[in-house]
Each structure stands twice: as structure tokens, then as C-alpha cells.
Amino acid sequence: MDLIIKSEMQGMTVKEILYSILHLSHGQVTALKKNEEGIILNGERVTVVCRVVQGDILTLALEDKDGDVNSDIEPVNIPIDILYEDDSIVCVNKPSGMPTHPSHGHHYDTLANALCYYYKEKGRAFVFRAVNRLDSETSGVVLIAKDRHSAFVLGKALQRGGFQKEYYALLEGELMKDGIIESYIKRRTDSIIFRCSEKEGIPSEYAKTEYKVLCRKKGNTLVKAMPYTGRTHQLRVHFSSAGYPIKGDSLYGNADDRLMLHAFSLSFNHPVTGQRLSVTADAPEVFSDYL
């Protein structure tokens, strides 16, 4: 991975950057020091005591631990839509109906299968690490980290609310105004899949969703939904509990050709540069009547 030295890093040693900025483990730093191409500054190998200046390019050969591979994921030639890619991350527009990870009954038709094949054809090592996850029925932006460090940084940012997620949701019924839904979501006692919404309680988790009405047509309402929290099935549970289930929701509404929920925008800080990125995925054709 490449790190461009910013003004606030001016005068720091490589060691300070590795530990204080990138939060690498002692084992990772030791591995970099032993690797002849582990620590490269502006094209030349350096030691960890070397000091950097603004504009320098620090290249690190971060490797995965032995065994940290996709040994259980079969590469499958499935077309994928790459939205953004660099040395640390890749963002993909996942179609509706495609699971993110292999599971029972879905061993060869997932996003993981597709990306493993994509990088195998490029002759590049790849470990599948999805940072955000979408239900198989939901389409839109999925972020995948290419190394353990990026996965760690992004995972922490996700937990701390550092991601901004925006969805298009087509609701059954005509919702008249913008609003916010707040409730507590928990797993239903009679199911490991279904979630339910309640005012408060244990072991439920607080959930908050803001939405803006974009269009009302044919007895349906298109909204832009912005979840502040990331609970399982949050948008599906919230809109269903409000009396406006997402169209095509086989779990909390009425089944249709597809769930009309699309994650069209994901904003986050890059795990290496810290730059704020916003990745967008155009809405599928089925939303065209409402956009």
C-alpha cells in the first residue's frame, strides 16, 4: 500500500507512522523490517528511524498471515460492476439477489465468489473482507478491504458511526412528509431471521432512520433513507412498523419481483489517506419511474 505523507506527519519517523498513524501491530512491523521490499520511501528502501517530509510516498508491503486466505470460497466467473478501486479498497455495485458471502445453499453465486475470480484472473492475491454488508435482496454499494489493516481501520470507523449511508426505498402507500423513525430492534423469539421493533427493552438495540420523500406515484412513495445506526434489517423493520413496508419485501411486506431497496451512496474516510470518499451506484432500471 502507498501512503502520501501529509503536513501533519512532517518530521515523524517511519516507526511513528507505522504505530501511531497506521496502528500496525508489532508483528506487522517486524515483518516489514525483515522484508527487503517491506518499507520503501520514494522508491528506496529505508529503516524505521528514517524521518519523512510532506509529499513523500511511503510504500509498505503489508501481507496477510499464512492461512488468511479464501480457501473455502470458490472463484466463479460472475460479472461485477466495480465502482472504485485502489491498493487498499474496492467498492462494488452488488445486484439484487446476490448474497455477499457464501452460506447454506449459496456456495457459488455470491459477491465473494465473483471477486475471488476477478482477482484470480488478474494474478493477484486477494482475501475477501466485506466492511459493510447488504441483504441479498438489497442492491448497491458494498465496500471491501484488501488488507487486514484497512479492514481494521474501516471496521472501527463503521462501529463509531464514521460512515454515511444513503438508500432509495420504494414504499407501499403514500407517505406525506419527511421524518425520523426511532425505535429498538431485536430478534423475534420465534425466528433467527425476523426482527421486530419496539419502544425499548433488553436485548433490543437502539435504531434511528431519517428519510426524505422524493416522489409519490401509483400509490407508492420513493424516499431517500439515511440510517444513523446499522441494525440488521433496520430499514425494512422501520418502514414496515410505520405502516409503509418496502415494496417487494418478502419478510416484512408483500413479495414481488425484487426488494425495492438500493444503497446508492456510501461515504467514509479512506483507511490509509484519511481522505473522505463518496462512492455512488446508479439506481437499477426498476426505479426509473420514480427518479
**Residue 196 has what pLDDT?**
67
**Residue 273 has what pLDDT?**
86
Give me the torsion for CA of 279, 84, 236, 167, rounded to 10°.
30
Domains and CATH numbers, the chain: 2-60 (no CATH), 166-264 (3.30.2350.10)
Q: Give me the phi and psi of 263, to 5 degrees please.
A: -85, 95
Task: Calculate the alpha carbon distances from 150 to 27, 65, 87, 88, 90 in Å.
Answer: 16, 14, 10, 6, 11
pTM as predicted: 0.78
Say if strands 261-269 and 139-145 run parallel, antiparallel, or are unpaired: parallel
What residues are labeled active site?
A: 135
pLDDT in tens, the chain (291 residues): 788 888 888 899 999 999 888 877 788 899 899 998 899 999 899 999 999 999 898 998 876 554 445 657 899 999 999 999 999 999 999 999 999 988 888 999 999 999 999 999 999 889 899 999 899 999 999 999 998 888 988 998 998 999 999 999 999 999 999 999 999 888 776 655 666 676 666 567 899 999 999 999 999 999 999 999 998 899 999 999 999 999 999 888 888 779 999 999 999 999 988 899 999 999 999 999 887
Look at residues 72, 70, 76 and name the one whose alpha carbon lies nearest to residue 117.
76
